[in-house]
Structure 1
């Protein structure tokens, strides 16, 4: 693909079984924290639920007074941002006035229809697009080179999108729709489904507020043990950064999903949403030696944490065996034990969503009593301390304890989360950065409320808080660009 030439540190290779991938071209490799490329979104939209609150160009907080008075669909943070999108919005605005009618008649997802509209209008105005020497800028042809699996999305999806596409093509002027068919637009929607990126806002508390298309980033394959991250880099661009040294010739990878989950859950998620069977190094490593044995591990109560049960994820007839004493337990019993724990966590999550923090705490304490280390249950089993169910439970428990005023307990929860995750999650990851920030934050709260009285202990806790924020800054500086709101936030807390 011609777009790869815009990223000189990379080259495109093609494998008969794996397909396309990007590998490091730099002879000396690249260090952790290196920006491999920054890419401008070919097109992107602010999700409908954030209409009026997020700028449609840079994803900062919007100024409600700077909006389109005709369609009321787009808002900006400044006149400058408005001017950057105006050549596209002039084409889409008349159609946006009727977007809800089109959605109702076709059954197409509203935001998908809006993104398709913006992509078509961007295509028609590419001649006026700006270029940059340090940011990859793509074209509609690059978008059309992206893979898609439209044929796997079902007849109902294809029919509704075709209906919406026909309405768009009818409503738009011929200067926009030239040479495009309904089939073309449906396949474009398939590319959105397969390749779009959910982008966080450029605000103090980032949240997913936009969906965008990045043709070069779309070439980066998934791995459950990735060597890169991607994040908002401001002004509707993303930056792909190395999280460790990557030698020349090694493929660069990102994760498309939350990887701190069991192997079977990850693979089901990827098959359902991205339509491929993951064959990354982590997913193909024998379970007995993989980090997945701890992430989703069950232990023997007699042997402790070293007594992990080992078996086959594919063979449900052969019992699993304890690594310590060789005690056999059926695969069904192992699975049922995890299902029961997951069910209890789901109940806690539901209570948390309703802000029932005391009830959530009770449920999570019950989960730990029956499924954590030193728990008591009829199965004589417990989940490995780094099991993803337990680490998630501890994070939610820390939030609840903070909210109900049990701040010293919340501090203990935060420390324990880090200790447990360190064994299974890479240091340079969004999750670990957040965990260290949360630890520094709860220490600050405890110090503010004089939880510790002894001067020596107070000084030690202040130093611990500073160390937590410093670690957070170190992690986030590797994972994000320097100006990212989360890096700025952590630096402020360290100052």
Structure 2
């Protein structure tokens, strides 16, 4: 039976080629009711609410336009940061400021920090939804795991929050765990990363090889396009993680954020459908082979060299991954074009160029160049194509 959900008579629902029904993957999913051609728009979806991603909140940012700037200053009434008179005088800030002033009390001598603001904004916006929007929010799946009070403790460290609102925040948290989407943000890094709750998109289930791709407009509307032909009755799927992440990273992130272990065909394939994004160089320096997990869905699986058949324990693999994480953490991709040659050389000893780390570095540098004024991406990429990875 098709689920009944709120119908918005806008572009999202003018041409409906999908239905919502029970999914074998769990809960409800979206299925094609008509053949959908590759590249076609399936639906566009405005968010119920948007807010910063608390895990990336480091710099001071404006609560209205999300610009990260040292010129941001706290509102005298609600303590939320704004960057200009335009943002301070906006209707959105007026509504949110009034809500805080009327319902919550800032603790004496407290100075709200970016972590608290990042956590608090999306709660305020969901609490301010109208009744029809709240009804739609209540239809979304909730997390079955016990509630963690960590984020609530963070909010209460700065504000005195009524018990009624704390109960609602717990419910909202269980909804966000399952349904929130990361919103693509500008490549120049001048805005804080965002997340949003999307009523239709929340019914999209996950696959590590999805048949859709998401595009976000400047107003945070999500456009969902078919990345392949989709047949009638086929479930429409998205990817909850970075699609170019390696299997261990994807599975850990899915468990951490969505509380399930993925076991799709890509996750079960040691080569990741031939991409070898997870591959590590064989620990035998004289061998030209790569190490791949024997059973990728088992975190304790040993890894095997595809050339010399050397078996490496998960403990040694863990040590290698730890070193890789430290090396990658020292690279400043966001602020420079030329990366440290010695670090790249060390990386190349540990992983082949098919590894997701090198794939990510190449793409991030390309985006950096493409969004830099005065640079021509085509010419520079042509120049890069003649260089080794160490000369980047």
Do they fold alike, i.e. is TM over 0.5?
Answer: yes
Structure 2 residue aligned with 1:312, among 278, 295, 304?
295
Does the Cα contact within 8 Å between 2:45 and 2:223 map onto a contact in 1?
A: yes
Partner of 1:19: 27
Matching of residue 210 in structure 1 with residue 214 in structure 2:
no
Does the Cα contact within 8 Å between 1:220 and 1:253 map onto a contact in 2?
A: yes
Matching of residue 363 in structure 1 with residue 343 in structure 2:
yes
Q: Which SS does the other structure have where 1:247 is aligned?
A: coil
Q: Tell me, which stretches of 5 or more residues in structure 1 are unaligned?
A: 127-137, 171-179, 372-382, 396-416, 418-430, 448-459, 468-495
Provide the aligned length of Structure 1 versus Structure 2: 367
Q: Tell me, which stretches of 5 or more residues in structure 2 are unaligned?
A: 386-392
Does the Cα contact within 8 Å between 1:100 and 1:110 map onto a contact in 2?
A: no
Q: Which SS does the other structure have where 2:340 is aligned?
A: helix
Matching of residue 222 in structure 1 with residue 206 in structure 2:
yes
Query: CA 1:41–1:207 in structure 2 vs 1: closer, same or farther (change >3 Å)?
Result: same
Distance 1:36 1:103 in 2: 47
Pair member with larger Rg: 1
Distance 1:97 1:316 in 2: 47
Report the CA distance between 1:10 and its aligned residue: 1.6
Structure 1 residue aligned with 2:50, among 40, 44, 56?
44
Distance 1:361 1:261 in 2: 23
TM-score for the superposition, normalised by structure 2: 0.70
Q: Which SS does the other structure have where 1:291 is aligned?
A: coil
Does the Cα contact within 8 Å between 1:345 and 1:364 map onto a contact in 2?
A: no
Q: Which SS does the other structure have where 2:213 is aligned?
A: strand
TM-score for the superposition, normalised by structure 1: 0.58
Partner of 1:451: none
Partner of 1:282: 266
Deviations 1:358-412 (A, max 9, x none): 99321222332x33xxxxxxxxxxx4430224434xx2xxxxxxxxxxxxxxxxx
Structure 1 residue aligned with 2:225, among 224, 238, 241?
241
Query: CA 1:341–1:201 in structure 2 vs 1: closer, same or farther (change >3 Å)?
Result: closer
Does the Cα contact within 8 Å between 2:41 and 2:224 map onto a contact in 1?
A: yes
Report the CA distance between 1:275 and its aligned residue: 0.3
Report the CA distance between 1:11 and its aligned residue: 1.0
Distance 2:36 2:81 in 1: 42
Partner of 1:491: none
Query: CA 1:145–1:52 in structure 2 vs 1: closer, same or farther (change >3 Å)?
Result: same
Query: CA 1:79–1:385 in structure 2 vs 1: closer, same or farther (change >3 Å)?
Result: closer
Q: Which SS does the other structure have where 1:234 is aligned?
A: coil
Matching of residue 386 in structure 1 with residue 388 in structure 2:
no
Matching of residue 149 in structure 1 with residue 156 in structure 2:
no
Structure 1 residue aligned with 2:4, among 2, 5, 30?
2
Query: CA 1:191–1:319 in structure 2 vs 1: closer, same or farther (change >3 Å)?
Result: closer
Deviations 1:114-169 (A, max 9, x none): 3222211223xx5xxxxxxxxxxx71112112222263344x438738968x9444
Partner of 1:197: 181
Distance 1:68 1:310 in 2: 53
